[in-house]
Amino acid sequence: MPYNQLSPEEERVIVDKGTERAFTGEYEKLFSPGTFICRRCNNPLYSAEAKFKSGCGWPSFDEEYPGGVKRHVDADGRRTEIVCAHCGGHLGHVFEGEGFTEKNTRHCVNSLSIRFIPEGGDLPPVLDAG
């Protein structure tokens, strides 16, 4: 089964490594129990329990699901990009040493890169490019 169909704006962020404007994403202020998955392939990425208020304008998480996210040095050579470990879709960037949580890590994630499944909801199957 192929990846989920993306809107042009979702493709700009996920495939072309863009960034949505701060404080505009649908998940920036959402703090409900559940799971955040990759919008492109449905790979589980973050538990809502790992989400915290950072004030940065994007959803922030201090821990990913094991094996859910990969880190790469960004094209600018200064930041660390985070991508879905399954499909390679761009999620955002990770920052360490800021002191927001005990884990001292902030995954700064574009809402357009993720989808929220409320607690008790069925997680869709993880998709391949087909």
Residues with catalytic function = 108
Strand order in the sheet with 60-61: 51-52, 60-61, 105-109, 90-96, 80-84, 69-73
Residue type, 33: P
**Cβ–Cβ < 8 Å for 7, 111:** no
Contacts 24+ apart (CB under 8 A), 76-81: 81/17
With residue 71 as reference, give the H or E element that holds it: strand 69-73
